[in-house]
């Protein structure tokens, strides 16, 4: 195993960092401009094969892209990560040839935005408890239910929606469907007011007597839960990469602050602050190894649940700690509402929660160890 990035991955990392620093803005609204530039650069479908409109890159390169984007704007990183890993990969891994031809090139090129609709008010951590129903009707299904916390809700063009054809079957009744945004009966709610990742829309998604042809079912009836779980394995590496970018941003901010203070006062940084910085930087390097390793395991085609969950919870917990310590070290104005470190903290907090809380990640790791 190689513990340093290859020359190729290093040069892509530099390219992504340059792009993020020069082209990505940190505004407070939906980052349409950032996404347009990402589309132009082929960043919306980086790990998809070129024959389907993607960049043909490996999963590690994609992970590095999300890390570098998130160092500047974690919402932009979140939208692209969700679009790629759970908005586009469902088609690539589980779509029929016809479904792929219809949707995949548009998604991989970023002309269409993808979203993933699993969570419900009574089915967050316990995803198998979802109640959205899919009832057979003629050549299709009628879907009814309400999804919650859907990233890019109201903005996305294609939603992978999970519903049950028979609740008595538990997770074996869950089935996945591809739903286009203009389908009658698909009703996105207003964007939620979140504490972090605010530039990414998160909405409710109501499904009211929504008819979906059987040709838009993804996979077999009853295979939806396993589809969702396997997609989330890859998705969680993307969230870990966002947290890596955020943790790096917080450490960079703290380091620059302490250096500037040394220059201004002519005094060396006190030992307490210096040790804090050393500890955070060491944990950051350990997190980076976990995240990149998870990406390599995914790329190898092996099951990566354990590695993805380890990377997700270690790195998102670190991102919260790094942002907190950065505020402690820098004091005011880092503690001011609207400051960069306050933004890192709020965004990092969100990464601990979505695509499976960190308690769920620990559960996944423990189950893998004990099975
Ligand atoms: N890949 C493929 N299949 C998987 C899998 C994975 N990563 N994880 C579980 N499965 C399969 C299991 O093998 C099992 O198959 P069988 O029925 O053939 O035995 C089936 O799925 C059920 O697995 P399990 O019994 O572990 O399911 P649980 O209901 O206990 O749920 C957790 C497991 C809690 C891990 C799952 O519900 C979860 O990840 N919850 C969080 C959901 C989430 O992340 N939501 C965020 C949505 S996006 S913001």
Using pLDDT thresholds of 50, 70 and 90, give the confidence band for residue 1: low
Residue 286 pLDDT greater than 80, yes or no:
yes
Fold of 114-225: Butyryl-CoA Dehydrogenase, subunit A; domain 2 (2.40.110)
Report the residue among 220, 226, 242 best suited for mutation to probe ligand 1: largest number of ligand atoms under 8 A from its CB. Answer: 226
Which pTM does this prediction carry?
0.97
- For domain 232-370, the CATH class is mainly alpha
pLDDT for residue 241: 98
Mean pLDDT of the region 156-172? 98
Residue 60 has pLDDT above 80, yes or no: yes
CA pair distance 13, 65, nearest whole angstrom:
7
For atom 44 of ligand 1, the residue with the nearest CA is 356
Query: Quick one: average pLDDT of 133-154?
Result: 98
Query: Per-residue pLDDT for 319 more than 70?
Result: yes
Q: What is the mean pLDDT of the chain?
A: 97
Q: Which atom of ligand 1 is nearest to the CA of 364?
A: 35
Please say if 355 is a catalytic residue. yes
Query: Hey, how many other C-beta atoms are within 10 angstroms of the C-beta on 162?
Result: 26
Average pLDDT over residues 264-287: 97
Q: Which of 68, 120, 276, 355 is catalytic?
A: 355
Shortest-distance Cα residue to atom 5 of ligand 1:
229
User: Is residue 357 in contact with ligand 1, taking CB distance under 6 Å?
Assistant: no
pLDDT at 352 over 90: yes
CATH superfamily of 7-109: Acyl-CoA dehydrogenase/oxidase, N-terminal domain (1.10.540.10)
Which atom belonging to ligand 1 lies closest to the Cα atom of 126?
Answer: 37
The residue whose CA has the least distance to atom 48 of ligand 1 is 355
Four-point Cα dihedral 316, 320, 321, 324, nearest 10:
170
The verdict on the CB of residue 62 being under 6 Å from ligand 1 is: no
Domain residue spans in the chain? 7-109, 114-225, 232-370
**Distance from residue 233's CA to the centre of ligand 1 (Å):** 10
Q: For the chain, what percent of residues have pLDDT higher than 90? A: 98
Determine the pLDDT at residue 3.
Answer: 85
pLDDT above 70 covers a percentage of the chain that reads 100
Cβ of 127 below 6 Å from ligand 1: yes
Q: 118 CB under 6 A from ligand 1? A: yes
**Cα–Cα distance list, 20 to 25, 239, 356 (Å):** 8, 17, 27
The closest alpha carbon to 235, from 94, 363, 80, 51, belongs to 80
- pLDDT of 54 higher than 90: yes
- Residue 2 pLDDT exceeds 90: no
pLDDT at 306 over 90: yes
Interval between CA 240 and ligand 1 midpoint (Å) = 19
């Amino acid at each position: 195993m190689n513990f340093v990035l290859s020359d190729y991955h290093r040069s892509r990392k530099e390219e992504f960092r340059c792009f993020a620093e020069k082209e990505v803005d940190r505004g407070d609204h939906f980052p349409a401009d950032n996404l347009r530039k990402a589309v132009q650069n082929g960043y919306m479908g980086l790990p998809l094969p070129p024959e389907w409109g993607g960049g043909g890159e490996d999963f590690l390169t994609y992970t590095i892209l999300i890390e570098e984007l998130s160092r500047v704007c974690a919402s932009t990183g979140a939208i692209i990560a969700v679009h790629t890993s759970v908005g586009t990969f469902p088609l690539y891994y589980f779509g029929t040839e016809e479904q792929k031809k219809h949707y995949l090139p548009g998604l991989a090129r970023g002309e269409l935005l993808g979203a993933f609709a699993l969570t419900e008010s009574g089915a967050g951590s316990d995803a198998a408890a979802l109640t959205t129903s899919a009832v057979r009707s003629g050549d299709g299904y009628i879907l009814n239910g309400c999804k919650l916390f859907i990233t890019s809700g109201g903005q996305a063009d294609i939603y992978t929606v999970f519903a049950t054809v028979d609740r008595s079957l538990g997770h074996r009744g869950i089935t996945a469907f591809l739903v286009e945004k203009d389908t009658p009966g698909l009703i996105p709610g207003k964007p939620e007011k979140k504490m972090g990742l605010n530039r990414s829309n998160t909405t409710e998604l109501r499904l009211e007597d929504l008819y979906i042809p059987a040709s838009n079912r993804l996979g077999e009836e009853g295979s939806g839960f396993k589809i969702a779980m396997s997609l989330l394995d890859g998705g969680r590496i993307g969230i870990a990469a966002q947290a890596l970018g955020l943790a790096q941003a917080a450490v960079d901010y703290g380091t620059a602050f302490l250096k500037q203070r040394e220059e201004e006062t002519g005094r060396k940084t006190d030992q307490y602050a210096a040790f804090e910085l050393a500890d955070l930087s060491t944990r950051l390097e350990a997190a980076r190894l976990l995240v990149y390793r998870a990406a390599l395991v995914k790329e190898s085609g092996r099951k990566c649940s354990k590695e993805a969950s380890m990377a997700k919870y270690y790195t998102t917990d670190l991102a919260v700690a790094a942002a907190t310590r950065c505020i402690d070290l820098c004091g005011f104005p880092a503690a001011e509402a609207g400051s960069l470190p306050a933004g890192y903290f709020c965004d990092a907090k969100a990464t601990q929660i979505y695509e499976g809380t960190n308690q769920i990640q620990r559960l996944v790791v423990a189950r893998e160890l004990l099975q």
